[in-house]
Amino acid sequence: MSPPLTHTVDDDGLGWIVFNDPGSRASALDPSMPAALHDALDGLAAARVKAVVILSAEERVFISGADLKMISSLPDAAAATAFSREGQQLFERLAGFKTPVVCAIHGVCAIGGCELALACHWRLASDAPATRIGLPQIGLGTIPGWGGCARLPRLIGAQAAVEHMLAAVLVPAEKALAVGIVDEVVPAATLKERARAIALKFAAEGIPSRPPPPPPPVSFYADQRLGVLASTGGRLPAPLALLEAVEKGGGRSLDEALGIEAELYGSLAAGEVCKNLIHILLLKDGNGKQTLDAWFPPAAGGPAPAPFRIIGIVGAGDMGSGITQWLAARGFGVILVDTQPDILKRSMEAVRKLFHESIARGETTHEAAHKALGGIAITTDVADLVDCDLVIEAIVEDVAAKRALLAEVAKVLPPESVLATSTSALPIEEISAQAAVPGRILGLHFFNPVNRMALVELVLGRQTTRATAERALAFSREIGKTPVVCKSAPGFLVTRVLFFCLNEACRLWEQGVPTDVIDRALCDWGWAMGPMRLIDEVGIDDTDCILGEMERYFPGRFQASTICRRMLAAGLKGRKQGASSGFYVYADGREAINPAMAPLAPAVPSAPPDVATLADLLLQVMIDETKRSLAEGVVRTPDEADLALLLGAGFPAFRGGLMRYARKTGLFAG
Ligand code: NAI
């Protein structure tokens, strides 16, 4: 294997280190890198270079972090601390290099790549959108362990450093400049030349000294700790360790600070949460490489599936509006159909609002949003879909209505186009039963809200052809969603598993377990939202409808709770479409137990189990249903089920996945 970097000396006496591993897409700080960088620095020191410039030959990634599989295989805290020490010592060589070291960043510069940059004496960043910089290790359950915790506060101050590292995000070059992580932002085309010029200047004049940054406010660490405990419930050790590393390291020498960092890194990297979070990241990576080979007979090869360009969406309700915005923002032409002009008008208002929110978050610009909005056409006439190569129906959850609509749509579409249903639970065969060409029909189950939920269940009916599925798989990836392929079955995976759980929660409520106790059970376990709150969000009517469907599809095994029906009769709709009264009432951004629920509760409640027992019970329901789904082949592997439940149902990532948890606790042997 070729080395991950090269080093050369030019005619001006400058040393160049170029990360350019041709064998990998990114120049990962893989196990061969430390030796290669030591060699390069030895060589450049021996050549007595005037200064060193570090850059990367890669287009999109400057230098990514260490190999995640390797970190996750570190056997214990001592090995992880040693790994941290090795990286720190390597980068210490850069910081202590006799002549100036300039780092020229283009592309993603994250984790170990960013720590390498921080050890250099000067950092330039290209202004390209691909350039994004940061230390997001908290998201992996660790802290920066190759010098980041010790160096960043010394560069930009403890307060800004902690805020950056706790946010666990990559920032664009301009933001990195504003915070002080980089020293200059230059046009991508001039990056190399500017790096050469600045390296020669520092070679002649010396590296400018930096004044020490101001200390944080007195109560800074205590306040941050309170904030972290409030947002994580104390279940995530990394943010607290980060605060400890920066606070303790702040009053000491760099060497001592690095020692503290390495010890804390060691205990985190060897811990359960870090291994779980890395596992999830690897699952996501693996998803990008999955094929349909497990679902269809071998394919004969051939050209890549033809991409969709003009997409019809029928049904301009919550889902139709959300999907329209998502697709338009990604450059697709969208034709949105509904029965009434005023519904379409309301939908476009919702789409515009989503664009405004996206602009406010800095995800898009006014110009781009304006252009995307211009790509949306609205109509009440299905015949206007004639040029679409994909139509997604998002009308009411009713088999007869969906069948009739697809028949109507099929008549106007070209034969090679694809028809997708966004049904959340109905088997595809029921919807495609009377279709002339059922092979071109499949499910694309998006999740609500579409702009925040990464999952799409790609649901294969018995007659869905491989060509249809291939196009839908490529499309799901193209629009930045994570597709999990499912066999058509009632509720597919996520709706089925989730609603078995929600039904159990409702039944517990009907036995007298208080709303907040049920919710606390899953929230204390790590879920962002408890089942009763989730039902309010989904809407009492939709929940009731799906519980009814589940009872029909799983007779004998699923006895639907009646509480949602009784809530609807009492005028309680949950939190959908402006309503604010369900299991909770919502006002001024707060929620409180809804007193209107009291008359619906049992007169003689049974004594509630403790929250840990309740959590076990609800998790057991989900595990059992996932096991059944796996046995029936609804999803192919426990890992795929875990990914779907993480991205579609909100399973807490730090637990590593439902079936991974079940396996560890002896509840699943697969
Ligand atoms: P919705 O009730 O908000 O909107 C449905 C829209 O379809 C309405 O605007 C209605 O006027 C229109 N419509 C009905 N029949 C039509 C026809 N023949 N031609 C054109 N338009 C027609 O429904 P929502 O919540 O957007 O759900 C749509 C589909 O997506 C359902 O199948 C639902 O199960 C599924 N889904 C819903 C999720 C949610 O959280 N709301 C999540 C995932 C899937």
Q: Per residue in 76-121, pLDDT tens?
A: 999 999 999 999 999 999 999 999 999 999 999 999 999 999 999 9
- From 408, 424, 451, 647, give the residue whose CB has the most ligand 1 atoms within 8 Å, as the site to mutate: 424
Q: Which atom from ligand 1 is nearest to the alpha carbon of 401?
A: 18
Cβ atoms of 140 and 277 within 8 Å: the answer is: yes
- From 313, 314, 318, give the residue whose CB has the most ligand 1 atoms within 8 Å, as the site to mutate: 318
Ligand 1 midpoint to CA 538 (Å)? 13
How far is it, in rounded angstroms, from Cα 154 to Cα 246? 10
For residues 542-554, average pLDDT: 95
DSSP secondary structure letter of residue 634: S
Confidence at residue 24, expressed as pLDDT on a 0 to 100 scale: 55
Quote the percentage of the chain above a pLDDT of 90.
91
Nearest CA residue ID for atom 10, ligand 1? 315
Protein residues whose CB sits closer than 6 Å to any atom of ligand 1: 314-320, 337-339, 343, 394-397, 401, 405, 422-424, 446-448, 538
Ligand 1 midpoint to CA 320 (Å)? 7
Q: Give the list of residues 6+ apart from residue 650 with CB closer than 8 angstroms, or none.
A: 527, 528, 529, 534
Ligand 1 midpoint to CA 337 (Å)? 11
Nearest CA residue ID for atom 40, ligand 1? 448
Q: Which atom from ligand 1 is nearest to the alpha carbon of 343?
A: 9
Give the CATH class of 310-487. alpha beta
CATH topology of domain 5-270: 2-enoyl-CoA Hydratase; Chain A, domain 1 (3.90.226)
Ligand 1 midpoint to CA 338 (Å)? 10
Confidence at residue 66, expressed as pLDDT on a 0 to 100 scale: 73
CA torsion sign for 537, 541, 546, 550 is positive
Q: Which atom from ligand 1 is nearest to the alpha carbon of 423?
A: 32
pLDDT range class, residue 20, cuts 50, 70, 90: confident
In the sheet with 171-172, reading across from the earlier edge strand, the strands are 61-63, 108-110, 132-134, 171-172
Cβ atoms of 107 and 124 within 8 Å: the answer is: no
What rounded mean pLDDT belongs to the chain? Answer: 95
List beta partners, residue 446: 456
Quote the percentage of the chain above a pLDDT of 70.
98
Q: Which atom from ligand 1 is nearest to the alpha carbon of 322?
A: 26
pLDDT of residue 658 exceeding 70:
yes
| DSSP-derived pairing of the beta strands 14-19 and 5-9 | antiparallel
Nearest CA residue ID for atom 28, ligand 1? 394
Options 3.90.1720.10, 3.60.70.12, 1.10.1040.50, 1.10.3720.10; which CATH number does 494-669 get? 1.10.1040.50
Ligand 1 midpoint to CA 583 (Å)? 24
Confidence at residue 218, expressed as pLDDT on a 0 to 100 scale: 94
Q: Per residue in 169-199, pLDDT tens?
A: 999 999 999 999 999 999 999 999 999 999 9
Q: Per residue in 359-370, pLDDT tens?
A: 999 889 999 999
Q: Which atom from ligand 1 is nearest to the alpha carbon of 422?
A: 30
Q: Per residue in 240-276, pLDDT tens?
A: 999 999 999 998 999 999 999 999 999 999 999 999 9
Cβ atoms of 407 and 441 within 8 Å: the answer is: no
Q: Per residue in 285-319, pLDDT tens?
A: 999 999 999 999 987 777 889 999 999 999 999 99
Q: Which atom from ligand 1 is nearest to the alpha carbon of 446?
A: 43
Q: Which atom from ligand 1 is nearest to the alpha carbon of 408?
A: 18
Distances from the Cα of 378 to the Cαs of 87, 329, 384, 556, 585, in angstroms?
56, 16, 9, 45, 36
Q: Per residue in 23-39, pLDDT tens?
A: 555 556 777 888 999 99
Distances from the Cα of 520 to the Cαs of 102, 543, 593, 611, 651, in angstroms?
51, 20, 13, 7, 15
**Where are the chain's structural domains?**
5-270, 310-487, 494-669
- Residue 313 φ/ψ, nearest 5 degrees: -120, 125
pLDDT of residue 202 exceeding 90:
yes
Nearest CA residue ID for atom 39, ligand 1? 448
For residues 379-402, average pLDDT: 97
Cβ atoms of 663 and 638 within 8 Å: the answer is: yes
Q: What's the pTM?
A: 0.92
Confidence at residue 1, expressed as pLDDT on a 0 to 100 scale: 57
Ligand 1 midpoint to CA 387 (Å)? 23
Same topology between domain 310-487 and domain 494-669: no
- From 338, 347, 348, 395, give the residue whose CB has the most ligand 1 atoms within 8 Å, as the site to mutate: 395
Ligand 1 midpoint to CA 315 (Å)? 5
